[in-house]
Amino acid sequence: MNRLEQYFDSSGSQAWDNLVNWATETYWTNSVSQRLLVKTLKNHSEIAKVIYARLGEDSLNWIQKKVPALDNLTPLACLETPELIKRLKEALCRMDI
């Protein structure tokens, strides 16, 4: 079965770094809701920045919902293993804005 995480290693790292830089420069203000998102995401600040850039104030709700692109896992559940983190990062890279 093809999983998103398999695509992250080949080219995902550079795309991820670019996305994090864009999210940080464009959307990140270190607001109260953004700091809460980082805390809820177990201090995965890069992931929090990208999620916030993609979803804005709905980020805290979204991370608790099952996402079909993540094989119906929640984004929070994807923080449990390195492979699932890659899956989440690849999904975030592929999201349209």
Look at the chain and report how many structural domains it folds into.
Answer: 1
13-57: pLDDT as tens digits: 888 999 999 999 999 999 999 999 999 999 999 999 999 999 999
Q: What number of other Cβ atoms are within 10 A of residue 92's Cβ? A: 24
Q: Does a structural domain hold residue 2?
A: no
In a domain, 1, yes or no: no
19, 87, 96, 20 alpha-carbon torsion, rounded to 10°: -10
Give the structural domain span for 62: 11-94
User: pLDDT tens digits for 51-82?
Assistant: 999 999 999 999 999 999 999 999 999 999 99
- Alpha-carbon span 91 to 49, nearest angstrom: 14
